[in-house]
Structure 1
Amino acid sequence: MTIEGVLKQFLGYEPTKNANVTVIDLSGIPFEVLSITVSFISRLIFEFGYFYKRKLAGGVDCETPILLVYEEAHKYVPRSDLVKYRASKTAIERIAKEGRKYGVTLGIVSQRPSEVSETIFSQCSNFIAMRLTNPDDQGYVKKLLPDTSGDLIASLPALQSGEALLIGDSIIVPSTVIIDKCEAKPNSTDISFFTEWSKAWVDVDFEKITSLWKQ
């Protein structure tokens, strides 16, 4: 593969169909190399934006703005100085600090905001906070938000499914909103363990599973 082919894949420029959203599934990546993998992808897209802007002429700032959304971000940019996180933290924090002028920006998603790098959050201009029950997470979010939003922060533990607290440059007044449900429901619900354990014994086809695993 060429670097142009990899970039086209990541940015949705496929031969048959162009796509506005590309999902890069890293769930099968061993955790030992996860930070390096995330760092490589992040640096590649950041440098693409950097050289793209250098190519543009006149007063054009950007033709292809890119939003990188990091799901489970505490795995890549934690509040930790351990060496195993250094590669991904360095790459993502650089995007947070410099990426906007090259048309590359971040969406940081985590169920444990108190475990995410403060450097990242200090660069964020908008926050979408869904239900948080952990006191550490609530206190951390409260520190990030304006003092006038104290009453709204108190409502975080009581938010229902689909409700969110929206604060930042994108909205004039901090507000609680209801997010529309997606048409194709994501396959992310918890497994019903008790129901499955109560069923009859299942014969597992181990050969099929391991052959898929080896691919």
Structure 2
Amino acid sequence: MSGVPFDVLSITVSLISRIIFEYGYFYKRLRCNANKDESINNDVPLLLVYEEAHKYVPNSDLVKYRASKQSIERIAKEGRKYGVSLLLASQRPSEISETIFSQCNNFLAMRLTNPNDQNYVKRLLPDTLGNLIDKMPTLRAGECLLIGESVILPSIVQIDRCSPEPSSNDIPYWKLWKEEWKVLNIEEIRKEWYK
């Protein structure tokens, strides 16, 4: 969705989320109508991944977020029984809707340096394990704090690097700014933009 203009992003995310939620709902109805003894609601479960989730479900009442926030909160509250679940990724967990967080079963918290975000994650931990938060600013790339139903105790784990790795490295501004000015082919960029 990164190519969707920000002014229609909320409604676009809302529509796609609602369609997938309704798929789960109607698929469950079909399965139950076909077999009254069906014990599995959905044998084709889906996982919706919302990267930079604070852009879709912020802890805000602004109208521009209303559509996506309502759709995603509904999935968080009701989606499991229809085989539709969420994975929210954000560098700012303190900015995400508390309704969403109250429905989450597991958390992977990577390096967080912002005290508000650290405190938010700390509230998820039992009082006896709150000191794990002190390690968060020093976690290395790929290390994270795993909390939730998937583990017996909150743990620091290493996530395997994916292959191929995403192109998401930071831009080396200082190095590039010291180089000679580059002549860009604006026409080529324009053609790519309008594809």
TM-score range, shorter chain: over 0.9
Report whether the alignment pairs 1:33 with 2:29. Answer: no
Deviations 1:40-91, CA, capped at 9 Å, x for gaps: 1100111001111111123232111111110000000001000000000000
1:171 aligns with 2:151: yes
Does residue 49 in structure 1 map to residue 24 in structure 2? yes
1:146 deviates by 2.5
User: What is the TM-score when the length of structure 1 is the normalising length?
Assistant: 0.85
Structure 1 counterpart of 2:51, one-letter code? E
**Where do 1:62-141 residues align within 5 Å?**
62-141=42-121
Residue 193 of structure 1, CA deviation: 1.1
Runs of 4 or more, structure 1, over 6 Å off, are: none
| Structure-1 separation of matches of 2:129 and 2:56 | 29
The answer to which structure, 1 or 2, has the higher relative contact order (CA under 8 A, 6+ apart) is: 2
AA paired with 1:83?
V
Structure 1 segments unaligned to the other structure (5+ residues)? 1-25
Q: Percent same amino acid at aligned positions?
A: 64
What displacement does 1:188 show? 0.2
- Name 2:163's counterpart in structure 1: 183
Aligned partners of 1:190 and 1:208: how far apart in 2? 24
Alpha-carbon distance, 1:142 to partner: 1.1
Aligned equivalent of 2:128, options 142, 148, 151? 148
Offset of 1:28 from its aligned partner?
1.6
2:135 is the counterpart of 1:158: no
RMSD: 1.1
* Aligned length in residues: 190
